[in-house]
Amino acid sequence: MQALELIALRGPDGLRLGERPVPSHEGMVVIETHAAGVCFPDLLMSRGKYQVSPQLPAVMGQEVAGRVLEAPRGSRFSPGDRVWALLESGGHAEVVAAPPERTFALPDDVDYVDGAALGVNYLTSAFALHRRGDLRAGESILVLGAAGGLGTAMVGMARAMGAVVHAVVSTDDKVATAREAGAHQVYVGDGFRDAVMATTGGRGVDCVADIVGGDLTVQAVRSTRPEGRVLVLGFTNGIGAVPSNRLLLRNVSLVGAGMGPLMAHVPDLLTGLSVTVVEALAAGLRPLIDSTFPLARGAEALRRMEDREARGKLVLQVRSDTRETAEPALTGGQ
């Protein structure tokens, strides 16, 4: 089978299209990949900066959507089923093997491109907002880095949960992306705190989803109402240092939202989160797709992410029918 291989830790320049054996499948769901997502951990791994160092040559990719070829007895799946799955790695290939507990039925009205966008960003959003952030309908949330793959997912999921969504983007040309994802209010640039306080009548937001980190984490704390919470999801601008007096004086909770580390301790974690995601899809939520690339041009997708040009999710089209659904699609979006 063909696969996009990482042969050197040089980012996009380290990728090539190669031939690999079909992965071992004992006890696994074997999936014919139709589309595969590109996510930030892929970029980190390609530079040797991820928490797990790949053994080269390696196949990256944690998100896939496709059709089941084989499934273990008693796994809920049968050959021909449409599914989406979250992998440790190996998704950028024509065939993948996924654990049954990380494989989920793809709704009939959701196509493979949208299905491939769900694994990391939407499960993470459900985890952060529902489990860790306890976000309630009618509450307000501020999403930092709201124009990227995880940011647009966070905006869309929060909107689907009934929240009032404020969003921060880095440049004016990303405002439309955040609004398309579902944001009610959008701020541009790092100095968003005063604008947030003005918009909320000096109260601040109930919750902040901080994907960016760095100096903006302090801004996030300062934008939160007393007894609000800041969800820490990532560090694209580096790890932030928050003075403890900021937390004390505002009575703000700083909450870690790392889905991956908790999965080892809560075996059925993803099952519950997948239900939350599917419920949002049934309500009309659809991933905001920036662009799609054939598998052979996967390096271009990774480069677009590295250059911070992506406006939403990047997806690799492994087969030509990635926009097919089992039934006519509903009207999507928020």
Query: What is the Cα–Cα distance from 147 to 114, expressed in whole angstroms?
Result: 17
Low-confidence residues in the chain, pLDDT < 70: 236-238, 240, 327-334
Q: How do residues 242-251 score in pLDDT, each as one tens digit?
A: 777 778 778 8
Q: Are the C-beta atoms of 324 and 65 separated by less than 8 Å? A: no
pLDDT of residue 160: 94
**Conformational region of residue 52, where left means phi above 0, alpha means psi within -120 to 50, and beta covers everything else:** beta
Query: What is the Cα–Cα distance from 217 to 270, expressed in whole angstroms?
Result: 27
Q: How do residues 68-80 score in pLDDT, each as one tens digit?
A: 999 999 889 999 9
Domains of the chain: 2-118+287-317 (3.90.180.10), 124-261 (3.90.180.10)
**Conformational region of residue 56, where left means phi above 0, alpha means psi within -120 to 50, and beta covers everything else:** beta
Q: What is the pTM of this model?
A: 0.89
